[in-house]
Chain A
Amino acid sequence: MSMPNNPDNYGLRLVTRYVVLTVIAIIFAFPLVFMIMSSLKPDQQLLADTSSLKAFLPVGDISFQNYENAFSRVPVGLFVFNSMLVTSVTVVLSLFVCSLSGFSFAYLKWRGRDLLFSIILATFIIPFETIAIPMLLITSKLPWIGLDGFSIGWLNTYRVQIVPFIADGLTIFLFVQYFKDLPVELIEAARVEGTTWWQIYRLIVIPLSGPVLATAAILKFLVMYNQYLWPMIVVQQEEYRPVMVGLQYFFQTFTKGGIAWGEIMAYLSMITVPVLAFYLYIQRAFIASVAATGVKG
């Protein structure tokens, strides 16, 4: 970036930049604000407000009635809980497994490493839809030993929604690229000091990997939270149903008597808030980690 050659010009540019950013922020925030405001209003007022700016303001008859009604139609809380559980467990396991395999691809030398890495990269281009049915066949026959003993078939469980998504090529690729960019002397210095590879992973590499952990976590979170096709196929019981499939069931309850827009907005608000909360949390962690280590992604 060039230095400002005169202060007025610089000030003007700064103002312009902030105006542009604010406009963009507002454009992105509008749908969210509209959704949340509408979820607080009775349908009649909600529809009337759409013709004016009131649509974005908490005015008129404000209540949580829509939320109550939504809960009485379907167990939204359970759906959100299911999704959060599946998503967070998958994210945590995925960060662990993919960073470990990324570590191995980036730092360890072993026979067939490069070939295997190419194969992993190649999995990028396989659309999920093409492997959904084979995956169904496999998971429906997998054994399991749990508290209630031995069983066959993973359908209608949490694990069938979690395990297949722990490792994926993109996440491994992200880690490999990031690890290869870390100064190799740090790893070598640690090796000379007498660390095991596991210690290098845990004490050196992971603490310096805030940016890539955050990126991988957000990508994985979004994929998992938005899961629809796979749980549609493998989960029939309400007990394990995630939010996106729940949304479908929620819509189906309307066929008898007209659509309740307020309740839909309430449902959507409830399933959107966790995503936003997670995103903000990760963003902070990301900034904190960059500030602490001085290692940028």
Chain B
Amino acid sequence: MAEIKLRDVHKSFGKVEVIKGVNIEIKDGEFVVIVGPSGCGKSTLLRMIAGLEDITQGTLEIDGVCMNDRQPKDRGIAMVFQTYAIFPHMTVRENVAFGLTINKIDKATRDLKVDEAARILQMENLLDRRPSELSGGQRQRVAIGRAIVRNPKVFLFDEPLSNLDASLRMDMRMEIGKLHQSLNASMIYVTHDQVEAMTLADKIVVLNDGKVMQSGSPMELYKEPANMFVASFLGAPSMNFINVEVHDINEENVTVYNPTLSPIKVPHKGRDISKKSQAILGLRPQYLRLVEPSDGILNGKVILTERLGAETIVEILLKDGKRVIAAISEDQILSNGKEIGLQFNPKQVHLFSSEDSKFLSENRK
């Protein structure tokens, strides 16, 4: 059992405030992924939960107990570092057993737990090696093994996969996912890779500049991003944004248009949109379809195509000089300069306020 609550947590290094009032609640057994751009304070937040950094202001509770002044070892956490941080002078077995040895667990129990962890992580054959004889992926397994054997209440991961190459990263990502299912422990996972976030998380917390932008399930965030930052951060390629004029507001819909965009009706959430005359339309590249120029809601010409095999990424220059990206779910050969139309389902678009970039539209399906 482990519930974690961060209440109005702040962190300053000297005069610089890095974490600016963060509230997060993590349920027992939940896999929470903290994402955000580089330097936004993800590691700092995680290290505060681990007890490696002091909490300047606010409280951290684990299972209802305030942890602010507890030593890292008294918090029931285990942490996996980006650089693995396995001890170079110890064998893999000694590394994995380290926490148990320190806490004076007898050798028989120790061996049992190490073998168990080695089995889960498929590294039985590595136990007698030294870290210098391991590959990056194997080292990361050792680091995870060291975390597992202590049965922590909470696992903390700080970008554990970012030093691995792409294919290994995917394997390890899936393994961490499985690990979570089999251990059923609470996990807090920091990354700036939105694919890791989308695939692993029960709940994603998007952090920017030391503040939580939004938190919720991956699909919630994907479909109803609270603001343009979240919208552009999740999903690849990033969401396209187009400035539009607003008129014809009724109960459900609002009509938006601009010189290059034929008027379309977009559902809004009954939010206060009545006084607005400007808004920003968000279009996910995946929701765009290529059509004949005459059928396009948007028109432009192709300036770049990337053929990825199953998918084709097309960059299109609109009449007003803006660029949009479309992701087509099949292989397509398009010559540069070709005139092209773009279609999309108006119910799938997002509408953001042009003043504070907040989410305005309702998104159905």
Interface set of A (CB-CB < 8 Å, partner B) = 183, 185-186, 188-195, 199, 203-204, 207-208, 292-295
**13 further interface pairs, Cβ-Cβ under 8 Å (given A191-B71, A192-B78, A208-B89):** A183-B85, A185-B83, A185-B85, A188-B72, A188-B85, A189-B143, A191-B52, A192-B52, A193-B78, A193-B102, A193-B150, A195-B102, A208-B88
Q: Is B275 an interface residue (CB 8 A)?
A: no
**Which chain B residues border A192 with CB–CB below 8 Å?**
50-52, 72-73, 77-79
- Is B81 touching A188 in the complex (CB atoms < 8 A)? yes
Provide the bound-state CA to CA distance between A155 and B83, in Å: 54
CB distance from A203 to the nearest CB of B (A): 8
Q: Is B182 an interface residue (CB 8 A)?
A: no
Q: Is B357 an interface residue (CB 8 A)?
A: no
Q: A188-B81, A189-B79, A191-B73 are in contact. Are A293 and B102 (CB under 8 A)?
A: no
Q: A183-B85, A193-B150, A207-B89 are in contact. Are A188 and B132 (CB under 8 A)?
A: no
Q: Mark B73-107, 1 if CB is under 8 A from A, else 0.
A: 10001110111111111000000001100110000
- Is A294 touching B73 in the complex (CB atoms < 8 A)? no
Q: Is B268 an interface residue (CB 8 A)?
A: no
Q: Mark B341-362, 1 if CB is under 8 A from A, else 0.
A: 0000000000000000000000
**Which chain A residues border B203 with CB–CB below 8 Å?**
none
CB distance from A103 to the nearest CB of B (A): 16
Most buried by B among A192, A204, A208: A192
- Is A183 touching B83 in the complex (CB atoms < 8 A)? yes
A-B contact pairs, 11 of them (CB 8 A): A183-B83, A185-B82, A186-B87, A189-B81, A190-B87, A192-B51, A192-B78, A193-B73, A193-B146, A199-B102, A293-B89
**Which chain A residues border B86 with CB–CB below 8 Å?**
189
Of B83, B88, B146, the residue contacting A294 (CB under 8 A) is B88
Provide the bound-state CA to CA distance between A18 and B313, in Å: 59
What's the tally of chain B residues with a CB closer than 8 Å to chain A?
A: 28
- Is B88 touching A188 in the complex (CB atoms < 8 A)? no
- Is A193 touching B99 in the complex (CB atoms < 8 A)? yes
**Which chain A residues border B82 with CB–CB below 8 Å?**
185
- Is A293 touching B88 in the complex (CB atoms < 8 A)? yes
**Which chain B residues border A193 with CB–CB below 8 Å?**
73, 78, 98-99, 102, 146, 150
**Which chain B residues border A183 with CB–CB below 8 Å?**
83, 85
Q: Mark B131-172, 1 if CB is under 8 A from A, else 0.
A: 110000000000100100010000000000000000000000
Residue of B nearest to A189 (CB): B85
**Which chain A residues border B51 with CB–CB below 8 Å?**
191-192
CB distance from A205 to the nearest CB of B (A): 10
Provide the bound-state CA to CA distance between A199 and B77, in Å: 19
- Is A194 touching B73 in the complex (CB atoms < 8 A)? yes
**Which chain B residues border A191 with CB–CB below 8 Å?**
51-52, 71-73
